[in-house]
Structure 1
Amino acid sequence: MKNSIIIIITFLISTSSFAQNKFGNPEVDPIQIQKTFTDWSVYQSKKIMLSRDFTALDSSSKEISKETFLDQLANGNFIPVRLKSEAEVYIYKLFKIQPKTDSSIKATINQIGFDAYKNFKMEGTAFPQFSFKDLNGNLVTNESMKGKIIVIKCWYIHCTPCIREFPQVNKLVEDYKDRKDIVFMSLAEDSPEQLKTFLVRKPLSYSVIPDMKEYMNTALQLNSFPTHFIINKEGMISKVLPNFESLEVALENESKL
């Protein structure tokens, strides 16, 4: 009997170790990365892209759905860490936040998780009906955009992260200039007069739709900027993304479909 118990315990330990080793080890020390808000923030912004497709693991290395993973980030007490893997393979695991960790890390992760969860739930749904007129007087509607991939950037003039990525999104437009089936447009909160003055100093290659604050608040229910949408040729939301880095990867994938 005693030997049987020992065998069972050994089996459980080895099974647990296999689950951990099957997916690899963390690329950073999950405890060390929590030492300061700055250390964690730099890692998070450069290494964790919650909008991409990834294998999700809970704190015991059990594979879970992306939806469950994001819900845990939004409502739990975890940080996400990428496990070591091949360059194009993404495995994120939840690690417990330590008792002495700066409380602002947990608060920020919960907010990031909440936004990522909300964005994820929008994917696969129809983009709300629209009839926009851009700064040049061109009318854009759901009907006129059928059969095209639409890339939408939501922003406003005083959003520093929104403006910081202008050079990158402008280059994206240039990179896809030969794709007549891909349209780039932006929704801005500001008035036509404010935008025309601002865009002289900070050009944006997207078409710009003014006075979109109410639409973004009510129809899209946005609470963070910038937010990017990729709408597929059937008018369905393919991806909702928080920054250029995520957008670049997602558009490359969508453009190949």
Structure 2
Amino acid sequence: MFKISSLFKFLTGCFLFFFVFTSCKEEEKPLSVAEMQINSLQNDHDKWYRYHKTNIDLSSDFLPLGETGDTIGKKAFLEAIITGEFMVFARKPEGDREKYQLIRLREDADDGISYNIAADTYTEYRYLQMEGKTFPEFHFKDLNGRSFSSDELRGKTLVVKTWFIKCKPCIDEMPQLNELVKEYSDREDVVFLSLSDDPEEELEEFLSKTEFRYEVIPNSQPFTKDSLGLTMYPTHLIVDGEGKIRKVAHSAPKMIAFLRKFL
């Protein structure tokens, strides 16, 4: 009798343990496809880098989301990334507007992700800080001796490019920029200026072989670096008729997309 009772209690205990264990297992929420992708990206810097460069454009007019999915300001979004504590994940777009969410990096995430995403974001954050500020006063003279000043161009949209001859990306985008100038050739209220670091003689020799339809200002490095605080080339700026900087972008396509919407 004692043996049967003990066996019964043992079997009952096993059943209860199995029931509780399996119940707990069933209550665990399975990871979504997005969650599995996020985990995978955090484990591999190269995989994250390819994803970030292919899917994330921090210079675009995206909808920024915080950790919990709430909408936050773009400035706060970029400031969070610069800390190196977050990565960015693309959610389903809202209409034609991209939607990006902050994802906190795990403690065991690849160390390279934190460093690189912070460094990659700093330029966009710097550009964002410039937007809305007044473009510095200037008085330029181009290669043809024509003068351009802040006062003379008041009321006109100013499209500015910073560059130098040995900057390959600066040169590669010139055909696209030439087409842009041609597109707005009938708009007297749009002026295209390029600020080059190079001296007049070198520019004249270069432009004798390479077409560039912007007005070219030589020896512009002091203005570009000291007045604008720019060190990355090329950089494009769009200045409105009141002298306010409306857009700063590193690449021609991003600048052109904004210009077409702006005008």
Query: Does TM, scored on the shorter chain, surpass 0.5?
Result: yes
Match among 67, 86, 89 for residue 81 of structure 1: 89
- Give the AA of the match of 2:229: Q
TM superposition score normalised by structure 1: 0.80
In structure 2, what is the Cα distance between the partners aligned to 1:46 and 1:178? Answer: 36
Q: Paired residue for 1:29?
A: 37
**What RMSD, in angstroms, separates the aligned Cα atoms of the two structures?**
2.5
- 1:193 paired residue among 201, 211, 214: 201
Equivalent position to 1:234, from 242, 255, 263: 242
CA distance in 2, matches of 1:174, 1:34: 45
Distance in 2, Cα, partners of 1:134 & 1:41? 41
Q: 2: distance between equivalents of 1:77 and 1:87?
A: 29
Q: Secondary structure at the match of 2:97?
A: coil
Identity of matched residues, %: 35
Task: Give per-residue Cα distances to partners, 1:5-63, cap 9 Å, x unaligned.
Answer: xxxxxxxxxxxxxxxxxxxx96x933445566555445444443323322111222222
* Alignment partner of 1:250 is 2:258: yes
Between 1:44-53 and 1:115-124, the stretch displaced more is 44-53
Gaps of 5+ in 2: 1-32
Determine if contact 2:42/2:109 at 8 Å carries over to the other structure. Answer: no
1:199-218 Cα shifts (integer Å, max 9, x gaps): 23332111111111111111
* Residue of structure 1 equivalent to 2:171: 163
The answer to whether the 8 Å contact 1:70/1:117 transfers is yes
> In the TM superposition, what are the counterparts of 1:60-139 in structure 2 within 5 Å?
60-86=68-94, 88-97=96-105, 99-101=108-110, 103=112, 105-139=113-147
- Whether 1:58 and 2:71 are equivalent positions in the alignment is no
For the pair shown, the structure with the greater C-alpha radius of gyration is 2
Number of aligned residue pairs: 231
Structure 1: which 5+ residue stretches go unaligned?
A: 1-24
C-alpha separation between the residues in 2 aligned to 1:39 and 1:244? 27
Any conservation in 2 of the 1:49–1:246 contact (CA below 8 Å)? no
Q: Using the alignment, how far apart are the partners of 1:36 and 1:157 within structure 2?
A: 38
Give secondary structure in 1 for the equivalent of 2:169. helix
Alpha-carbon distance in 1 for matches of 2:200, 2:189: 27
Structure 1 residues 66 and 157, CA, compared in 2 at 3 Å: closer, same or farther? same
- Partner residue of 2:218 out of 175, 197, 210: 210
Cα distance in structure 1, aligned partners of 2:190 and 2:236? 14
- Following superposition, the deviation at residue 106 of structure 1 comes to 3.2
- The aligned counterpart of 1:7 is none
Task: Determine which structure has greater relative contact order: mean sequence separation of CA pairs < 8 Å that are 6+ residues apart, divided by chain length.
Answer: 1
Q: CA deviation at 1:82?
A: 2.2
The residue aligned with 2:13 is none
In structure 2, do the counterparts of structure 1 residues 143 and 63 end up closer, same or farther at CA, with 3 Å as the change threshold?
same
1:227/1:242 contact within 8 Å kept: yes
SS in 1 for 2:158: strand
Cα distance 1:35–1:201, how it changes in 2: closer, same or farther (>3 A)? farther
Task: State the Cα distance separating 1:80 from its structure 2 match.
Answer: 2.1
With 140-149 and 91-100 compared, the bigger mean Cα shift is at 91-100
Aligned residue in 1 for 2:233? 225
String of CA shifts for 1:174-231, please: whole Å, max 9, x gaps: 2222222111111111111121222233321111111111111110011212111000
Q: Report if aligned partners of 2:161, 2:235 keep a CA contact under 8 Å in 1.
A: yes
The separation in 2 between residues aligned to 1:199 and 1:221, in whole angstroms, is 26
- 2:110 is matched by which residue type in structure 1? T
Cα pair 1:57 1:92 within 8 Å, conserved: yes
Structure-2-length-normalised TM-score: 0.79
